[in-house]
Structure 1
Amino acid sequence: MKCSRIAMNVLGLMMLLFIITACKPQIEKLSFETIAQRDFINYREENPTLFVITNDDEIETLVSNVLAEDPALADQLRQLDYDRFFAILVLQGRKGSTGYAVTVKQIVRQGNQVTIDAEVVEPLPGTRRNPAFTSPYHLVAVSKEGQWGQEIKFVLVVNGATGAETTHLIP
């Protein structure tokens, strides 16, 4: 009788753990492709940041604030099929020389949060650098497979530390 009660308690606990685990939103890797990745864009802030682009109106806002000196990049964004994709622009921040880079390594979604894992590279000591203001960036197109149509919190993680956050409606 006592063993049967213990077995029932253990079975109940296992079922409860299964239910709790099943209710937690699963982590989903999002597929993405590079649109452009360079070391200069017209961004004057020093801290890393990100922009989420879901339609042509948002491109025009970026053109006036960030892409004014790169009309070809704006044209690439205009060609994106926003019914199937959205874009994320990750900026490393303004640097005082060449030799810096930022690369989006992985994008994952868990519920209504998307985390962009990026790696920044700084020039090694003794590496030849040209003195110039640069602002490295990586622009990616992200597939809209799955359920969207809601406000999503985007978190930029740079070399393991949170670099920026924003919330955006992904139609």
Structure 2
Amino acid sequence: MAQAVMFIMIEIGQCDRGFPDTDHPLIWSGRTLCGLFASSLGMRGYKVSSRDIEGALLRAFFLTAIIILLGTGACSREITPTAVAPTATPTSVVPVGTVLPFQTVEQGIYGDYSVRQPRAVLITSPQDIPSLNGTVSPESRGLVTAQLQRVDFQRYVAIVVFRGRKATHGFDVTVEAVAREGDKLVVYAQFWEPSPSWAVANEATSPFHIITVPRDAGLPEDVEIVLRSRPVTPTPPPAQRP
């Protein structure tokens, strides 16, 4: 194909006239290669010495090598993806504001059956305990009441987190952090869902978690309870994974 192109250039009289009259290595090699191809085609008027041929070939070799290297570098830069640092999946919540200490009073699955929506209730005195009688099932009422009556409300406040009524077992609620954000007391909770790999009992449940928070942790006078939850699904052991 190269010989055909050169032959056409020579025929239309553009081979020598197509290169400027200069000693630049690239131009000189082009003129010499034109003469070389013309001689191979039997064209008259093109006399190329062996020294010219050797020099032209060397120059053409080095120029070709440089072009290949530059092209390879450009291609490498074009297809090389930008490295992105992996983002670690958080294993626990990161609270906003001032994190407060808390302790568990009681935790169970037979709590408030009257509502289906999750909620958090603040108990600041023993007089607030009877208000839970209508929200805690008879199975847990005695234990919950006994545990709350042991709380020193001069030093602590109690918070009850209800998950809401569920049709089966496998649901649960676990408080994982408590933080103060201005005049708000934010409760971070895990809402556990049934694992699709495990069988659950078809019995209605209402998970709850009761905790206490020290009053000297900096609780505001008129505190507002805010519940923030995230769903969690148990992961079965490797042998049980589908």
- The two structures have a TM-score, normalised by structure 1, of 0.73
Query: Whose strand fraction is larger, Structure 1's or Structure 2's?
Result: 1
**Secondary structure in structure 1 of the residue aligned to 2:190:** strand
- Output the CA distance in 2 between the equivalents of 1:124 and 1:138: 20
Q: Which residue of 1 aligns with 2:148?
A: 77
Name stretches of at least 5 consecutive residues in structure 2 with no aligned partner.
1-95, 232-242
Does the CA-based 8 Å contact 1:91-1:136 persist in structure 2?
yes
- Output the CA distance in 2 between the equivalents of 1:147 and 1:121: 30
**Secondary structure in structure 1 of the residue aligned to 2:216:** coil
Cα RMSD, aligned residues only: 1.7
Q: Choose between structure 1 and 2 for higher RCO, CA contacts under 8 A separated by at least 6 residues.
A: 1
Q: Which residue of 2 aligns with 1:137?
A: 208
| Letter in structure 2 aligned against 1:48 | P
User: Residue 148 of structure 1: CA displacement?
Assistant: 3.9
Does the CA-based 8 Å contact 1:44-1:135 persist in structure 2?
no
Task: Say which one has the larger Rg.
Answer: 2
- Output the CA distance in 1 between the equivalents of 2:112 and 2:225: 22
- Output the CA distance in 2 between the equivalents of 1:40 and 1:71: 12
Does the CA-based 8 Å contact 1:53-1:88 persist in structure 2?
yes
Q: Which residue of 1 aligns with 2:129?
A: 59
Q: Which digits, 9 at most, give the CA deviation of each residue in 1:41-85, with x for residues without a partner?
A: 14321110111111111101112x213512121111011000110
Q: 1:148 to 1:115 in 2, by over 3 A?
A: closer
Q: 1:120 to 1:39 in 2, by over 3 A?
A: same
- Output the CA distance in 1 between the equivalents of 2:210 and 2:228: 15
1:31 corresponds, among 96, 101, 110, to 101
Does the CA-based 8 Å contact 2:110-2:136 persist in structure 1?
no
1:103 corresponds, among 160, 174, 192, to 174
- Output the CA distance in 2 between the equivalents of 1:29 and 1:58: 25
Does the CA-based 8 Å contact 2:99-2:178 persist in structure 1?
yes
- Output the CA distance in 2 between the equivalents of 1:138 and 1:122: 15
Aligned pairs for 1:2-17 (under 5 A) are none
| Letter in structure 2 aligned against 1:82 | F
Does the CA-based 8 Å contact 2:121-2:225 persist in structure 1?
no
Q: Which residue of 1 aligns with 2:3?
A: none
**Which consecutive aligned stretches of 4+ in structure 1 deviate over 3 angstroms post-superposition?**
146-149
